[in-house]
Structure 1
Amino acid sequence: MLNPSTISEQYAQAAQDDLKVLIVGAGVAGITLAQLLREQGHHPVLIERNNDDSHPGYMLALMPMVDDVFMDLRLRDIYRARSVALRDYGFHAHRGAMMRIDSLAGMLECYGDYRGIARGTLLSVLTDKGCDVTFGATVKTLQDHGHHVAVQIGDDRQALGLDFDLVVIADGIHSSTRALILGDRKVATVDTGWGGWVVWVPGDNDMALAEELWGAGFFYGVYPVKGKLGVFLGGDIKDTRHGPQHFIATVRKKLTVINPRMERCLQAIAAANTPFFWPLTDCRSPQWSVGRTVLLGDAAAGFLPTAGIGAGMAMESAWVLAGMLRHENGRNLAALLRAYESAQRPRVEAAQDTSRSLARLMFRQSRILAVLRDAAMRFVSVEAALRPIQKLLANKPDPDEIAKGCAGCTAVRDQLNLPHAD
């Protein structure tokens, strides 16, 4: 549960901490980090620019790299109870017939759980023990003075000046705070030119089966979560601008097979009053850490949903950062953040590259390409697409190991009984 709190109330709790932390953004990444730090005994100040937690929501597939988060938060059983195991992946030919069903469990279960969950449910799980947050607050100014960061936090009416040892910017792909540390440096983006609608449909008898159809000029996907199905239907922005009913009529003309689940899903999208529209874009920051400030989650690298790994990587990054901060008292923070970025950024960007590669294959208009994709998928399972992710899962990051290479992080090295760098 998110507990609305004032900045002053949160800052008073943080006053006695050796490390005063500000987390900007109460999304998946920001809440994960805040809760991990609180589990360690810290009192980070968490702020959110929206006035409440009424995000429209969408479905997430969480890879096994999130398991350590739930273990450390002692929420593993709750997480499993409120999510579903994604065991199978069904691939439809571009005209609608089911072409093959592959075992996701067989590909990933040796690394841990692969589960479907609604975004809102995930946030509810992460905040099961309560989570203080100040809504309607943004960072107005941010100045790094070397030994602390001076921050003005407020709304349209007033701003409050506070000092922090660390500022974590986790306010999403369209971060309004990121420019305060990047200045004129540009964030790289991939805009697929596609977007689509997300709706919820009641669950059925195949709640372990996720399905996708890579069509000629459209994409359809169904992803189970607890008690319901998350459905996505999208295409080129030029084709979706006329609304879901018009677009669905176009899609139906391209299909020769529509199974009962697909029919229910298409009808649900057509009947939805104001379905959530998801523009398919991403972002990649040229730098994560500047002094005592660091980017996290979508603010650092916002993912396309094509590989189903963006939320998992954001949670893993929060877990690695929290693990490294466990040994830090603030004196060598800039060096620690550089070590964190050096270790975690290549992992995140490798996963993001996988998402981008899949997008180039999925989001195409050509019917000829759709036929060729179908032919290839008769012989190649989804494991080929997951292989880069399997490599990431097999090489799990270790916050303590990362700290070993943190030149100048004397506090960290003392905690780990490591020799100091020359």
Structure 2
Amino acid sequence: MKAIVCGAGIAGTALAWHLERAGWDVEMVERAPAFRESGYMIDFYGPGLEAAGRMGLRPRLEEVRHPVHEIGYVDGSGRQTSRLAVKAGFAEVVSLLRGDLARVLAEQVRAPVRYGTTVAAVRQDDEGVEVELTDGTRHEADLLVGADGVHSRVRELVFGPEERFVRYLGHHVAAYVVEDEDLSRRVGARYRMLTVPHLMAGAYAVGENRLALLFLRHEPDPAVPADPAASLREHFGQLGWILPEVLGGCPQPPELYYDQVTQVEAPSWSSGRVVLLGDACQAVSLFAGHGASLAVAAAWVLAGELRAASSGDLSPALDRYAARMRPVVADVQSFGRRFLPWMAPSSRLRITARDWLLRLASLPGADRLFMNSLSPGGHRLIT
């Protein structure tokens, strides 16, 4: 059996890992010109972390993790307004950069990646699928996997235009990493955030001389600005704290990640011998906090169903994969929509209420209840 995986991010690479070990021939294509080192801090836990453990990847994840010891808010002068210590035992969480998780997965995959390339056309029948790539080559396979993100080219070609599936959540998000030993030391292994109505900026030290930055802005217009770095400086540069310093050297894409905050709601995840995976069909938004975990878990579920399928019709396996994943994706998406307004509150009154909630959560016995409230309901995906 042969699969063409479009998208060499977390979801696509995790699936390639499984398929190779099941004896499949895997080809990978990625529209980015090279492996994407940039990214943002993620909390990796739940079913995805369990799957990674069963894949034997926990030792490498431990090597690249950056533990968070405290969550807190500051004002424009850098004065702390509220905080919550993250105690051991809240939950098994591995905090790390998105690019580091992608690299840990990629290290274990044999299939080379054809960078700077994506799918140009798809033709399929009961016997297989033919894929024409943007480099002009044609390839035949038993399965085409669209793991190419929110703006999936495979989904567009097979299922329809993007506007049918992408739900804009009224915010823009940006992230990048700077190298600055002094700033890294000042922020430390604590996730610090500054919020004013409709804006949030966060920072967290990663290593001895790097600082990961995250920005969220309420914006009714989904259009991404022509100059994302200038837009960040315009909206955040006068807020104080460390922001004038870090925004002075703000890069442009691809070093700067800048996008809409969106979710993907796709009625169908497969059509014939084409299946969607990861953000292409189940994006929950960065601020739902479970995207990477769901991507790795979905790859585990899809691979398991494919292993159990006959070499002929793959449709029943693809249907079972979607049936297992849909409930948890819907749950996390709902959680993300509820949680997002608390990340960039709409008023100073709401900011004050959030700070009081965080102070109350630091009381004995209340901390665990608060942390549990930051996760949607549990689902058993890894069996």
TM-score, normalised with respect to structure 2: 0.83
Q: Tell me which of 46, 67, 84 is aligned to 1:101.
A: 84
Match of 2:6 in 1: 24
Q: CA deviation at 1:219?
A: 0.3
- Distance in 2, Cα, partners of 1:55 & 1:81: 17
Q: CA deviation at 1:189?
A: 0.9
C-alpha contact (below 8 Å) 1:48/1:134 kept by paired residues: yes
Structure 2 matches for 1:114-263, cutoff 5 A?
Answer: 114-131=93-110, 132-155=112-135, 158-160=136-138, 162-183=139-160, 186-201=164-179, 202=181, 203-204=184-185, 208-227=189-208, 228-237=210-219, 242-252=230-240, 258=241, 263=242
Opposite residue 169 of structure 1, the aligned amino acid is G
- Distance in 1, Cα, partners of 2:273 & 2:297: 20
- Distance in 2, Cα, partners of 1:120 & 1:27: 9
Taking only the aligned residue pairs, the percentage that are identical comes to 25
Match of 2:297 in 1: 316
Match of 2:364 in 1: none
- Secondary structure (helix, strand or coil) at the match of 2:238 reads helix
Higher alpha-carbon deviation: 308-317 or 65-74: 65-74
- Secondary structure (helix, strand or coil) at the match of 1:121 reads helix
Q: CA deviation at 1:164?
A: 1.9
CA-atom RMSD in angstroms: 3.0
C-alpha contact (below 8 Å) 1:137/1:153 kept by paired residues: yes
- Distance in 2, Cα, partners of 1:226 & 1:383: 30
Is 1:371 the counterpart of 2:352? The answer is yes
- Secondary structure (helix, strand or coil) at the match of 1:281 reads strand
C-alpha contact (below 8 Å) 1:168/1:296 kept by paired residues: yes
Q: Is the alpha carbon distance of 1:233 and 1:390 closer, same or farther for their aligned partners in structure 2, counting shifts above 3 Å?
A: closer
Q: CA deviation at 1:93?
A: 6.8
Deviations 1:122-143 (A, max 9, x none): 2221122454112232222223
Q: CA deviation at 1:292?
A: 2.2
Q: Is the alpha carbon distance of 1:147 and 1:224 closer, same or farther for their aligned partners in structure 2, counting shifts above 3 Å?
A: farther
Q: Is the alpha carbon distance of 1:90 and 1:128 closer, same or farther for their aligned partners in structure 2, counting shifts above 3 Å?
A: same
Deviations 1:224-258 (A, max 9, x none): 44553311134345898854444344312xxxxx5
Q: Tell me which of 261, 268, 271 is aligned to 1:281.
A: 261
- Distance in 2, Cα, partners of 1:293 & 1:286: 14
Match of 2:16 in 1: 34
C-alpha contact (below 8 Å) 2:128/2:142 kept by paired residues: yes
Larger Rg: 1
TM-score, normalised with respect to structure 1: 0.76
Deviations 1:103-132 (A, max 9, x none): 2633213xxxx1222222222211224541
C-alpha contact (below 8 Å) 1:248/1:270 kept by paired residues: no
- Distance in 1, Cα, partners of 2:306 & 2:102: 22
**What is the total number of aligned residue pairs between the two structures?**
362
Q: Is the alpha carbon distance of 1:206 and 1:36 closer, same or farther for their aligned partners in structure 2, counting shifts above 3 Å?
A: farther
